[in-house]
Amino acid sequence: MAVVTKNNIFSIAPMIDVTDKHFRFLARLLTRHTLLYTDMVTTGAILHGKRERLLAYNNEEHPVALQLGGSDPAALRDCAVQAKEYGYDEINLNCGCPSDRVQNGAFGACLMATPELVRDCLRAMADQPSSKPNIPVTLKCRTGIDQQESFDEFLHFIDIATDSPCQTVIVHARNAWLKGLSPKENREVPPLKYDWVYQLKALRPQLNIVLNGGITSLEQAKQHLQHVDGVMMGREAWHNTFFLADADAELFDDHHVKADRIAVSKAYATYCAEQHAQGVSLSVLTRHLLGLWHNIPGAKQFRRHISEQSHKPGATVAIIEEALALAGTTE
């Protein structure tokens, strides 16, 4: 049977321009156990760019996984070694993103057309020569590309890819349409195939199968966990972040005192002050608070103040306290 770690049960999906280290710090104020992912980082950016800026994270973020985008096994191995040196808890290969940018780089969802290459990439990523213990390698993919409607083709891809040290597969339960749809449409238009993911787990019980796609509540997550090993949630965690405060009790059986929205906002304000002093844009930091204040009394006033004030010259983290006051929640 697959070895299922506690943190595999529930995770937040890697999302470009969303799951940066600031969002992950905020999420960790709400949940101790949920596995957090970086947004995708390409091998070229790590090997030839500003590595520290791309790979550095806050120690509070653990457990945290790095998602890599690339298709060259040697480059992926080198990046995996870097990830291990930085102390990440997992390395994930992106075989699910359908955007033009990743297609032009010959990685992401288009890699599903070459399962042998995916296998070789995963094998290379697991080859992490150093004195530190190896960290797990995982795969994130779709149920297929374009108009593929054969479960057998999907299963064939999984079988070849997992002929490697990778034994955890995260499946976004939709096909990726490589032409004709925007990335946003690719998250919504192709029909969901939860039954395919359930069937995959039934046929390959030795694998750790995590389901992703269209999940918007912890109750839905619990229902899926009757069929698979783990659940990954995406955009809902960005738009309605405070639900994460219930994740530890609902999914991990850890009934610690639930995080308080106001206290979390103030703790994050302290973090923002530290980061802003180091040169991080205030708007980059405070945008993550918008999802924390969602669909509750005072949320509209809070969100409007943050959105309007964070871009102004001379703005400081005092705008967070001001927003709390406008929302009538400064106690």
Domain containing residue 61: 6-252
Is 70 exceeded by the pLDDT of residue 100? no
The tens digit of pLDDT for each residue in 237-284 reads 999 999 999 999 999 999 999 999 999 999 999 999 999 999 999 999
Are 195 and 269 in the same domain?
A: no
d(CA 111, CA 105): 10
73: which residues sit within 8 A by CB, 6+ positions away?
117, 120, 121, 123, 124, 125
Q: Whole-number mean pLDDT of the chain?
A: 93
The tens digit of pLDDT for each residue in 193-248 reads 999 999 999 999 999 999 999 999 999 999 999 999 999 999 999 999 999 999 99
- pLDDT value, residue 98: 84
Annotated catalytic residues are: 97
Say if 1 falls within a structural domain. Answer: no
Number of domains, the chain: 2
The tens digit of pLDDT for each residue in 127-179 reads 988 778 889 999 999 999 988 899 999 999 999 999 999 999 999 999 998 88
Residue where one domain finishes, among candidates 205, 235, 252: 252
Are 157 and 286 in the same domain?
A: no
CATH classification of the domain holding 147: 3.20.20.70
Nearest-10 Cα torsion for 177, 178, 182, 187 = 40
Residue where one domain finishes, among candidates 189, 218, 252: 252
Are 239 and 267 in the same domain?
A: no
Are 159 and 177 in the same domain?
A: yes
CATH classification of the domain holding 268: 1.20.120
